[in-house]
Amino acid sequence: MTRSRIPSPSPSVDDLRIDLAVDLAVDRLAEEFDDRAETQTVVDVVRTCRNDLSGVPATALPELVERLARHRLLVAVG
Amino acid sequence: MGSVDVTGVRHTLPDGRVLLDAVSFRIGDGARAALVGENGAGKTTLLRIISGDLTPEAGSISRAGGLGVMRQFIGSVRDETTVQRFLVDLAPPAVRAAWDAVENAELALMETDDEPTQLAYAAALGHWGDVGGYDVEVTWDTVTVAALGVPYDRCKYRELSTLSGGEQKRLALEWLLRGPDQVLLLDEPDNYLDVPGKRWLEERLRETRKTVLFVSHDRELLSRVADRVVTVEGGTTWVHGGDFAAYPAARIARHERLAEVRRRWEEEHERLVELVRTLQQQAKNSPDMASRYSAAQTRLARFEAAGAPPDRPPEQSVTMRLRGGRTGVRVLVAEQLELDGLMRPFDLEVDYGDRIAVLGSNGAGKSHFLRLLAGQEVAHRGGWRLGARVVPGFFAQTHAHPDWLDRTPVDLLWHGEPGRPGVDRGRAMATLRRYGLVVQGDQPFGSLSGGQQARFQVLLLELSGATLLLLDEPTDNLDVLSAESLEQALAAFDGTVIAVTHDRWFARTFDRFVVFGADGRVYESPEPVFDEARVQRAR
């Protein structure tokens, strides 16, 4: 895992990027767990992870959300 | 806002000697204070106490504003420390702790990828952001570009040992001057810097609004930067509230004042002792005098209990006697001499009695040139020869004598070496005394301070009978008084002197100036040249 060290220019731009990145994470995870979990389940897990990691710097958030969501999905559905 | 208050500090050495006592002074907001004193007087110890590395036996330190410290060893780092680790270690404690927490969380995540470990890593990253870590990294990028000419991401894993001493110093200074700490303690920040580097440092220190306490032996830097001078001498400190130009006179005046107060105290003490003696005799014959005798005794006891005022600190007595001897008129002839890959071919003639300063930027080949003249193996082309009765004596820049480290000065003097006969212990100690090294006579050479090692090297030159002195940065580690003593000794030396130096004050005492240019050209200048550009080498 890598850390991006350069802060983003403003919170609003950060939010847009995060939302886009999280959406992409949902797409990847939905495809990865296609035969084991409903898409809505994946969306819920990702949203929960996003909330749980709300204190994380914006640039690192998407990667951590996806990683945590994948871990939780694996625990839940195998 | 930044300030330092030192109150009643006392420090005792492991051997029981009190190094510092009753040390009290204040460095106010925005001050640029120089900390000066003899080699071994306790300057570095005092900085270590202020920085919290050492706990004083008594007294206290209080500070306002974060503290940034540049330790003396920076410039000579030869271990595996990376640029990244170096910058982390210079950062404020909260940033350091947050960085280490992120590093540890990353390592844990490599071992265990469970939810608690992921959340711990996320928390560590959050904390890194909270302490301003991302802003710090932006500053690190600015710092590495300024000091090394490359972005942080391209040099962060580079080992510090691959940087020159000047680059290491510059890296630390760029960070400390740009970083958040408002109080800077700089222990010999100018060591390893060439003259353009020193000038850069002077400008930056003059323009910074931070509070700076720095140790330096460079008289030019002291005179350009310091707006007050804290002196460590006689086991304590005193503060001269003016600049360095007025400092020597202020020091002499203080010493005279101390001596006068002490003289008066001793006169009064003598008078009281005499009074008690007289009244004692009278009391034997006259009971009426008994009460006066008793009162005088009480007065004397109180006077003695109050203690004598401090005396004038003992003057450092360093007496260098570089004798030399008459040589042929032509001392050195170099014809189309070229050190491989370092400079273009050049001619040089040096006559008996010449005082030649070799100037130029780091990396231009000056030290190699001296080593060649000293008889060491240095790849070169062209010719050079020494004249009749010319005996070279070499003072090495880095005091690189690994075979000396565990030997004592007395032992080294006893055994001698080719060209320098050994001397018995009595003569060795007498000579060491003249160089202010008698206490260090039986200590390993490696345990001596840089200044003490430098003085010992000059002593060896004295005993070697050299008639051509080859000095590579001889004043770099010498305190101000020792440097002046060396200048006097060189003035009285019957022979020829060739010295590589970045010490502008010292260089001005010479009468010829040979400049090793950044473009590889070697030329003679009627005046000292200090602004040769840095020699560029491929990275």
Question: Considering the entire predicted model, what is its pTM?
Answer: 0.79
Average pLDDT over residues B284-309: 92
Residue B95 in contact with partner chain A when CB distance is under 8 A: no
Average pLDDT over residues B162-177: 91
Please spell the DSSP secondary structure of B188-235, one letter per residue: STTTT--HHHHHHHHHHHHH--SEEEEE---HHHHHHH-SEEEEEETT
Quote the pLDDT of residue B215: 93
pLDDT at B227 over 70: yes
Domain locations in chain B?
1-81+172-235, 82-158, 249-306, 330-525
| Residue A10 binned pLDDT confidence (cut-offs 50, 70, 90) | low
Residue B134 in contact with partner chain A when CB distance is under 8 A: yes
The closest CB to that of B137, out of A5, A52, A71, belongs to A5
The 10 Å CB-count burial string (b at 16+, else e) for B362-377 is bbbbbbbbbbbbbeee
Q: What is the DSSP letter of B517?
A: -
Average pLDDT over residues B55-62: 95
pLDDT at B38 over 90: no
CA distances from B456 to B126, B351, B446, B452, B498 (A): 55, 28, 12, 6, 19
Q: In CATH, what class is B1-81+172-235?
A: alpha beta
Which residue type sits at B79?
D
Average pLDDT over residues B249-271: 95
Q: Which of B17-21, B44-48, B353-357, B488-492 has the highest mean pLDDT?
A: B353-357
Q: Which segment of A45-59, B132-146, B271-285 scores lowest on mean pLDDT?
A: A45-59
| Residue A12 binned pLDDT confidence (cut-offs 50, 70, 90) | low
Averaged pLDDT score across all residues of chain B: 90
| Residue A17 binned pLDDT confidence (cut-offs 50, 70, 90) | low
Q: Is A57 within 8 Å of B129 when comparing Cβ atoms?
A: yes
Q: Is B118 within 8 Å of A60 when comparing Cβ atoms?
A: no
- Among chain A residues, CA nearest to B137: A5
With pLDDT > 90 as the criterion, what percentage of chain B qualifies? Answer: 65
Quote the pLDDT of residue A1: 40
Neighbours of B488 (CB within 10 A): 15
The closest CB to that of A57, out of B106, B126, B138, belongs to B126
The closest CB to that of A60, out of B115, B125, B137, belongs to B125
Q: Is B122 within 8 Å of A64 when comparing Cβ atoms?
A: yes
Give the distance from residue A35's alpha carbon to the nearest chain B alpha carbon, in angstroms: 23
Quote the pLDDT of residue B318: 74
In this structure, what are the phi and psi dihedrals at residue B395, rounded to the nearest 5 degrees?
Answer: -110, 115
Quote the pLDDT of residue A6: 44
| Residue B104 binned pLDDT confidence (cut-offs 50, 70, 90) | very high
- Are both B1-81+172-235 and B330-525 of the same fold? yes
Quote the pLDDT of residue A16: 63
- Which CATH number is B330-525 given? 3.40.50.300
Q: Which two tokens stand for residue B42?
A: 């306790």
Residue B120 in contact with partner chain A when CB distance is under 8 A: no
Alpha-carbon gap, residue B482 to B504, rounded angstroms: 16
Alpha-carbon gap, residue B317 to B83, rounded angstroms: 42
Which residue type sits at B369?
F
Q: Which segment of B153-157, B412-416, B535-539 scores lowest on mean pLDDT?
A: B535-539
pLDDT at B197 over 60: yes
Give the distance from residue B210's alpha carbon to the nearest chain A alpha carbon, in angstroms: 27
Quote the pLDDT of residue B538: 45
pLDDT at B223 over 50: yes
More confident residue, B399 or B383: B383
pLDDT at B188 over 80: yes
Angle at alpha carbon of residue B58, lines to B53 and B63, rounded to 5° = 55
Domain locations in chain A?
11-77
pLDDT at B438 over 80: yes
pLDDT at B132 over 60: yes
pLDDT at A13 over 90: no
Quote the pLDDT of residue B8: 96
Quote the pLDDT of residue A15: 66
Quote the pLDDT of residue B539: 42
Residues of chain A with Cβ-Cβ distance to B122 below 8 Å are 53, 55-56, 60, 64, 68
Instruction: Report pLDDT digits (tens) over A48-78.
Output: 999 899 888 888 888 899 999 999 999 988 7
pLDDT at B357 over 90: yes
The 10 Å CB-count burial string (b at 16+, else e) for B198-216 is bbbbbebbeebebbbbbbb
ipTM comes to 0.78
Find out whether B477 and B484 touch, Cβ atoms under 8 Å: no
With pLDDT > 70 as the criterion, what percentage of chain B qualifies? Answer: 98
Give the distance from residue A68's alpha carbon to the nearest chain B alpha carbon, in angstroms: 7
| Residue B516 binned pLDDT confidence (cut-offs 50, 70, 90) | very high
- The DSSP element (H or E) to which B434 belongs, if any, is helix B425-434
Which of B110, B112, B115 should be substituted to probe chain A, the one whose Cβ sees the most A Cβ atoms within 10 Å?
A: B115
pLDDT at B499 over 80: yes
Instruction: Report pLDDT digits (tens) over B305-351.
Output: 999 998 888 776 677 888 888 899 999 999 999 988 788 999 999 99
Quote the pLDDT of residue A8: 46
More confident residue, A8 or B111: B111
Average pLDDT over residues B246-252: 92
The closest CB to that of B118, out of A5, A6, A67, belongs to A67
The strand pair at B183-187 and B3-12 is best described as unpaired
